[in-house]
C-alpha cells in the first residue's frame, strides 16, 4: 500500500527562498514572437560568443594554474580577458539582454552554461 504523500521540511522559509532563486532566469523561454526575430538572433549569437569567452577564460585559468607564465603573457592574457568582458557587457546593453538569457537548453545535456 502506498504511503500518504507528504512534503516535509525543517526549514520551510529557507527552502522557499533558495528554490525561488534557483529558478529565476529565462533560459527556457524561446522568443517565438516574429517581431523579436532580431532579438532572438542577437541572443543566439551572444550566447555563442559568451560560450567562447568562457572557454577562453577557462583555458587562461589553467595556464595560470600551471604556474609558468611570463610577465608579458600575464599582461596579455589579463588584457584580453578584460577587453572581452567589457565588450560582452556592451553588447548585452545594446540588445537589452541579461546574463540569464544567454543560455541554451540542450535537452538531455542540460543547459549549455
- Return the residue of 49, 56, 88, 97 that touches other proteins, per CB under 8 A: 97
- The reply on whether position 93 binds other proteins by CB under 8 A is no
- Return the residue of 26, 45, 48, 94 that touches other proteins, per CB under 8 A: 26
For 77-106, the three-class secondary structure string (H helix, E strand, C coil) is: HHHHHHHHHHHHHHHHHHHCCCHHHCCCEC
Query: Would you say 95 and 102 are in contact if contact means Cβ atoms under 8 Å apart?
Result: no
Residue indicated by cell numbers 532566469: 25
Count of alpha carbons within 13 angstroms of residue 66, beta-carbon side: 11
Distance CA 60, CA 89 (A): 20
- The reply on whether position 70 binds other proteins by CB under 8 A is yes
Least spacing, CB of residue 63 vs other proteins, in Å:
9
- The reply on whether position 49 binds other proteins by CB under 8 A is no
Identity of the residue, 45 or 55, whose beta carbon is nearer to other proteins in the bound complex: 55
Distance CA 96, CA 94 (A): 6
Q: Which residues bind other proteins (CB under 8 A)?
A: 2-3, 5-24, 26, 29, 31, 33, 35-36, 39, 51, 54-55, 57-58, 60-61, 64-65, 67-71, 74-79, 81-82, 96-98, 100-101, 106-113
Amino acid at each position: 500500500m502506498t504511503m500518504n504523500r507528504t512534503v516535509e521540511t525543517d526549514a520551510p522559509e529557507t527552502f522557499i527562498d533558495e528554490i525561488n532563486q534557483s529558478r529565476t532566469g529565462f533560459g527556457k523561454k524561446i522568443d517565438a514572437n516574429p517581431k523579436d526575430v532580431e532579438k532572438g538572433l542577437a541572443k543566439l549569437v551572444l550566447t555563442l560568443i559568451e560560450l567562447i569567452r568562457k572557454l577562453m577564460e577557462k583555458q587562461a585559468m589553467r595556464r595560470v594554474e600551471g604556474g609558468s607564465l611570463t610577465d608579458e603573457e600575464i599582461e596579455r592574457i589579463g588584457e584580453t580577458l578584460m577587453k572581452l568582458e567589457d565588450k560582452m557587457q556592451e553588447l548585452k546593453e545594446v540588445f537589452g539582454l541579461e546574463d540569464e538569457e544567454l543560455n541554451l537548453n540542450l535537452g538531455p545535456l542540460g543547459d549549455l552554461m
